[in-house]
Copies of this chain bind each other. A is one copy, B any other.
Amino acid sequence: MLFSPIDVRVREVGLRDGLQMIAAQVPTEVKIAWLRAEFAAGVREMEVTSLVPAKLMPQFSDAQAVIEAAKALPGLTTVALVPNLKGAQRALELGVDKLDFVMSVSRTHNLKNVRRPREESLADLVRIVHERDAAGLKGKVLISAGLSSALGCSYEGQIEVDEVRRCAADLVAAGAEEVLVADTVGYSNPQKVEEVFRAVMLETGDLPVGAHLHDTRGLGIANAKAAYDCGVRLFDASLGGLGGCPHSPGASGNVVMEDLCFLFESMGLRTGIDLVALLEVRRQVAAALGDVPMFGALSRAGLPTGHHAVA
């Protein structure tokens, strides 16, 4: 499984994006069981925590233990969200494989989400890259940068495509090695996805561009297909569609992991993920989380007659 080729990488972000929306503290052993089970199902990249101050988000006070458990899984890319330099320093200490730095295209959302103007976010990204390089970790720890609210904002409404493109150029200039375009509040549609991703790709050259989509208004899977058609091969998703943004009113869950994997597998594209095993992980996580609402259709309907797992 480790070295089998895949056509598209679907990464789990529920342990970060999902759990940040759950007020109750999810036990560390539940998180670890979840990430181990998804790894066993074939998932090879997971955003496992957020390195924000524990007093702001006590949900992630066990970041160290979760990262250590993830690092023990051979071939897993362990990712942590970092809102600023301090978070990035901690991520480097804890030895993650990839840092997800976030900046919003929406100035209002950036102020609400990371409490500073975009210019300060960019300056921090420059410092983070420098810090990583100074530690001799260039080529070992990847710096990914998220463009939040790139497809709409619950404060500002529509976001200009030119503004997204400028922000992408700024992130690349600051040293980002991967760009994640995020529909933080699920405002997008397939046409807009095409327009925005194609614009961003004019600035990213050979760097990978990923899609972080929310299914707030039911268009998540259609938007993912549109992003795939633009050449995107890295997709965020969360088991059962957990997730949202505490600083974006009306945001709801991420694209449903199992439905998104089904989209790709049903089109003959290899995700490396065993859908039967993934549905079983979902059942286990749903049971462990108790009354947290989960979404998605595949878990309700099951796989079609004659569906064969990709070897």
Binding site for B on A (CB under 8 A): 152-158, 185-192, 215-219, 221-222, 224-226, 250, 252, 256, 259, 262-263, 266-268, 296-298, 300-302, 304-306
In the assembled complex, the CB of A16 is this many whole angstroms from the nearest CB of chain B, namely 21
Q: Interface on chain A toward B: helix, strand, loop, or mixed SS?
A: loop
A305: chain B residues within 8 A (beta carbon):
153-157, 250
Tell me which of B189, B217, B224, B298 contacts A217 (CB under 8 A): B298
Contact between chains at B218 and A304 (CB < 8 Å): no
Contact between chains at A250 and B306 (CB < 8 Å): no
Tell me which of B218, B256, B266, B301 contacts A189 (CB under 8 A): B266
Closest to A260 in B: B218
In the assembled complex, the CB of A183 is this many whole angstroms from the nearest CB of chain B, namely 11
Contact between chains at A259 and B219 (CB < 8 Å): yes
Contact between chains at B252 and A304 (CB < 8 Å): no
How far is it, in angstroms, between the C-alpha of A222 and the C-alpha of B259 when the chains are bound?
A: 11
How far is it, in angstroms, between the C-alpha of A224 and the C-alpha of B218 when the chains are bound?
A: 12
Contact between chains at A217 and B301 (CB < 8 Å): yes
In the assembled complex, the CB of A196 is this many whole angstroms from the nearest CB of chain B, namely 13
How far is it, in angstroms, between the C-alpha of A132 and the C-alpha of B103 when the chains are bound?
A: 64
How far is it, in angstroms, between the C-alpha of A166 and the C-alpha of B262 when the chains are bound?
A: 29
Contact between chains at B189 and A267 (CB < 8 Å): yes
A192: chain B residues within 8 A (beta carbon):
266-267
